Amino acid sequence: MKNHIIPAMVKDERLIAKRRQQIVDGAVQLFIKKGFHKTTTREIARKCNMSIGTMYEYIQNKEDILYLVCDYIHCKMEKKIRRVIAEQDSGMESLVKGFRQLLKVMDEMRSYVLLIYQETKSLPKARMKFVLQNEENITAIFEHILEKGIQDGTINLEPQSVKLMAHNIMVIGQMWTFRYWSLGRFYTIQEYTEQQLNLLISQLIRNRSTSLNSIESDVDFA
Amino acid sequence: MKNHIIPAMVKDERLIAKRRQQIVDGAVQLFIKKGFHKTTTREIARKCNMSIGTMYEYIQNKEDILYLVCDYIHCKMEKKIRRVIAEQDSGMESLVKGFRQLLKVMDEMRSYVLLIYQETKSLPKARMKFVLQNEENITAIFEHILEKGIQDGTINLEPQSVKLMAHNIMVIGQMWTFRYWSLGRFYTIQEYTEQQLNLLISQLIRNRSTSLNSIESDVDFA
Amino acid sequence: MKNHIIPAMVKDERLIAKRRQQIVDGAVQLFIKKGFHKTTTREIARKCNMSIGTMYEYIQNKEDILYLVCDYIHCKMEKKIRRVIAEQDSGMESLVKGFRQLLKVMDEMRSYVLLIYQETKSLPKARMKFVLQNEENITAIFEHILEKGIQDGTINLEPQSVKLMAHNIMVIGQMWTFRYWSLGRFYTIQEYTEQQLNLLISQLIRNRSTSLNSIESDVDFA
Amino acid sequence: MKNHIIPAMVKDERLIAKRRQQIVDGAVQLFIKKGFHKTTTREIARKCNMSIGTMYEYIQNKEDILYLVCDYIHCKMEKKIRRVIAEQDSGMESLVKGFRQLLKVMDEMRSYVLLIYQETKSLPKARMKFVLQNEENITAIFEHILEKGIQDGTINLEPQSVKLMAHNIMVIGQMWTFRYWSLGRFYTIQEYTEQQLNLLISQLIRNRSTSLNSIESDVDFA
DNA sequence: CATGAATGAGTATTCATTCAT
DNA sequence: GATGAATGAATACTCATTCAT
């Protein structure tokens, strides 16, 4: 977390972290249910069992809370995704594992991701940069995987398209959250995942003789 | 336009259409610059050279304006895209033309699309439905193209993936608007279009012997 | 009617009277249902099938409408009450007939009277005077009856109390409208009338040997 | 006071009572001078040396203020009237004392009572019920007195007319406020009181041999 | 460090009235 | 005479933020 950017009235770093987590936990629920603008600071304070006065000891304004929330969500996502990436795996193996995990996370955190997605714009320019940067960090995971795959020969992709492909992968994940209102009517998350994976692979191999099934899914959708 | 849904205090239908266009024209600019929430009704009225009183003769509340704006944008997009689709073209031809046009439109209307994207959630539930429906109408254009291509044999895609692929296409278009902050640093719209097109085609043909170049681009990016 | 006080943009006196009656008819219903303040001029115009523009040709402002309404109600009440007063009757006979008629009218026009009662204060000072004067005119009917009764010996009352008694009688009538929420639970209008009449008479006779029953009620409560 | 019904944003009960009194004190004056509808919340806040924000911490909407005012007035009236009623007095004695005190209070609080009278209808239904209930509580005082008088033989009244008579007494009091524009021209409050008392007594005794003068007035009109 | 009462600028919306057609 | 679109002052209420205790 880069919370350090947000100044607090209180010194005790340990306390700051604890209280901010409290704030984030309370705020997320409210933001998801009502949106950032329609949630009042009073509500947030009440939700996290804090007086408004106390809350303002740990933040400077309402937007700070949104920032903390976005940051928290991104960190959690990133951690969850990195967990399945192993050094020893080939590029393609990592890709498949990473992709499946990405979609698993997107499904689990659907409303959270949607939140970031819809409210980021409410952040002041400077803060927005940081949030977008977080996003780009996650995108970078897939860039690295693709590059590794190109080098070890398991992935076939022109270097100039690496960035683009990484973005595409991220967006395939995100669209499950922001187009769920339509996609959810036609596909389960498993179906969605495997079909998108098939389409994705078809872009990354020279010929489709390589079977996906050779790479076992160690992602189980709860 | 389904504006008819919004009741007006004024009877003259001609006038209603005219004034509402005035309102939309003024509001879009402000919404794009400041966002829906931070734009005041007074500002909107001033921008479109109307008194607030007059404005409220043609709408019922601020959200109506947002709805009118979203509706207007979607209609414009749909019209522009349909323009390049010709009956006599093969599925694949239509797809390529449609895709290129989609991206051209997305680039031209970048901030407009972004607006819809970020503010749709501010609409009341009922109104949101309509906006999402509009979106789905555009997606349906590509569904039809894909189906046509499957039938005439120019496109290779499993039927169950048609809907998914149509969504993917739409999202490839939209992501140019909402990830422009990153994509715009690495690609021009032409580069973006052609690379995405290449990736797309690779998913829709049995073998890559068919060259894209055979389908000339009649889309010029102004 | 002293409508003449209210200037109109239109000349034709016949038309003025007709249109103003139209306005009054529409307005009364609305005022009764929603009160003066919560009724809009637009609603009134719509209710009486007139454009607002036209309506304003016959009045100068919203308060004028209230005035017209009050005036109309008072005139109607006065006419109805005077109808049962006959020259040849004794004072006491007139009193009983007048009283019973007063209560009949109050019951029939309950919501109308209540309206005057609650909204008179919304009139500008000058207009209020006129309305109160109308009220006093009706009160004066009973003053005259009481004086006649004193002179012909059928009513026993000190001259200094005549005015007071006339007011009391009016108020007995009015309270049926503004305390109906309570009185209506315990008494029918007939019970209310006869009990109040009994009490009233007991104040106006030297000894109670005179029976009320000798004066027949020619008022039938529909 | 049943203020507890009105929720406040502030917790300290002591403070709530104090601030609400402040609000009532400021509001009454304005309501009396301009009426409820023509008084703005800003004016009220200014009058009671509070920011609007602060004021709204203690009420929920403008109507709440009106309710508080009505409640306050009724409570004050009731207390003042009850003060002169003594256990050991006979029914008739209580009645005379109570009646004189009622009129004294009505005179002192003339504009306050008039206010309740004219603005109660501006309250939302539920609140209006409470106010009317308060009114009925005061009326009940006189009901009890009348019943006592009937039992101890000092008052002669048919049981079925008790409720009616109690209402009549209340209305005799109230009419001094809402017909003061006319009554005030002819009677002082003392004259009004004694004449009405005489008329009242004439309804409540079998023969008029009993002299009122035997019951001394301990009400002095300041 | 914690509290929560105080603040007041800011906003959507209404509605009586006018006046050009 | 009739119409109804245009006007904009006026108003109730909210809510992020502060600061004395």
pLDDT at B212: 40
pLDDT tens digits, C159-172: 999 999 999 999 99
pLDDT tens digits, C27-68: 999 999 999 999 999 999 999 999 999 999 999 999 999 999
What are the structure tokens assigned to A123, written together? 């952040």
pLDDT of residue A215 exceeding 50, the answer is no
- 3-state SS class at A37: coil
In chain A, what are the domains?
3-66 (1.10.10.60), 69-213 (1.10.357.10)
Instruction: Judge whether A182 is closer than 8 Å to chain B, CB to CB.
Output: yes
Segment B41-59 mean pLDDT: 97
Q: Measure CB to CB from residue C202 to each of D139, D195, D202 and give the nearest one.
A: D202
Can you give the distance from the CA of residue A36 to the C1' of nucleotide F10 in angstroms? Answer: 31
pLDDT of residue B5 exceeding 70, the answer is yes
pLDDT at B94: 95
pLDDT tens digits, A144-185: 999 999 999 999 999 989 999 999 999 999 999 999 999 999
pLDDT of residue A193 exceeding 80, the answer is yes
pLDDT at C180: 96
Which residues 4-43 of chain C have a CB under 7 Å from nucleic chain E?
38-42
pLDDT band at A221 (very low <50, low <70, confident <90, very high): low
Residues B49 and B18: their CA atoms lie apart, in Å, by 13
Residues D147 and B113: their CA atoms lie apart, in Å, by 79
pLDDT of residue A209 exceeding 60, the answer is no
Q: Measure CB to CB from residue B186 to each of A163, A192, A203 and give the nearest one.
A: A163
Segment B62-82 mean pLDDT: 97
Residues C75 and B65: their CA atoms lie apart, in Å, by 50
Average confidence score pLDDT of chain B: 91
Q: Among B146, B139, B138, which residue's Cα sits nearest to residue B95?
A: B146
pLDDT tens digits, B161-177: 999 999 999 999 999 99
pLDDT at A205: 83
pLDDT of residue C3 exceeding 80, the answer is no
pLDDT of residue A90 exceeding 90, the answer is yes
Instruction: For residue D98, give how far its alpha carbon lies from the nearest alpha carbon of chain C (Å).
Output: 19
pLDDT of residue B208 exceeding 50, the answer is no
Q: How many CB atoms lie under 10 A from the CB of residue D51? A: 11
Tell me which chain B residue has its CA closest to the CA of residue A117: B118
pLDDT tens digits, C167-215: 999 999 999 999 999 999 999 999 999 999 999 999 998 654 334 444 4
* Helical segments of chain A, H only: 13-34, 41-47, 52-58, 62-82, 91-108, 110-119, 125-152, 162-178, 180-186, 189-204
Task: List protein-proximal bases of chain F (any atom < 7 A from a CB).
Answer: 1-20
pLDDT at C212: 40
pLDDT at D146: 98
- Contact between the CB of B42 and strand E at under 7 Å: yes
pLDDT at B95: 96
pLDDT of residue A102 exceeding 60, the answer is yes
pLDDT band at A7 (very low <50, low <70, confident <90, very high): confident
Per DSSP, D86 falls in state: -
Residues C27 and C50: their CA atoms lie apart, in Å, by 12
Per the CB < 8 A criterion, the answer to whether A154 and A93 are in contact is yes
Contact yes or no for B181 and A121 at CB 8 A: no
pLDDT of residue A93 exceeding 90, the answer is yes
Segment A28-34 mean pLDDT: 95
Per the CB < 8 A criterion, the answer to whether B8 and B16 are in contact is yes
DSSP letters of A183-207?
HHHH--HHHHHHHHHHHHHHHH-SS
Note which residues in 103-162 of chain C have CB less than 8 A from chain D.
118, 121-122, 132, 136, 139, 160-161
Average confidence score pLDDT of chain A: 90
Which residues 21-60 of chain D have a CB under 7 Å from nucleic chain E?
50-54, 56-57
Segment A45-73 mean pLDDT: 96
Extract the residue ranges of chain D whose pLDDT is less than 70: 1-4, 206-222
pLDDT tens digits, C15-29: 999 999 999 999 999
Per the CB < 8 A criterion, the answer to whether D123 and D70 are in contact is yes
Core vs surface per residue D75-88: b (16+ CB within 10 A) or e: eebbeebeebbeee
Segment A50-76 mean pLDDT: 96
Segment B17-40 mean pLDDT: 96
Percent of chain A with pLDDT over 90: 82
Chains meeting B at 3+ CB pairs closer than 8 A?
Answer: A
Residues A73 and A119: their CA atoms lie apart, in Å, by 13
Please give the sequence-ordered ranges of beta strands (E in DSSP) within B87-146, or none if there are none.
none
Segment A35-60 mean pLDDT: 96
Segment C106-127 mean pLDDT: 94
- Contact between the CB of B52 and strand E at under 7 Å: yes
Can you give the distance from the CA of residue B83 to the C1' of nucleotide E9 in angstroms? Answer: 50
pLDDT tens digits, A18-29: 999 999 999 999
- Checking each nucleotide's C1' against the CA of B19, the nearest proves to be F5
Instruction: For residue C39, give how far its alpha carbon lies from the nearest alpha carbon of chain D (Å).
Output: 13
Contact yes or no for C167 and D183 at CB 8 A: yes
pLDDT band at B222 (very low <50, low <70, confident <90, very high): very low
Q: Which residue is nearest to nucleotide F2 (CA to C1')?
A: C54
- Checking each nucleotide's C1' against the CA of D57, the nearest proves to be E5
- Contact between the CB of A53 and strand E at under 7 Å: yes
pLDDT band at B214 (very low <50, low <70, confident <90, very high): very low
Contact yes or no for B167 and A161 at CB 8 A: no
Can you give the distance from the CA of residue C33 to the C1' of nucleotide E17 in angstroms? Answer: 24
pLDDT of residue C1 exceeding 70, the answer is no
pLDDT of residue C222 exceeding 50, the answer is no
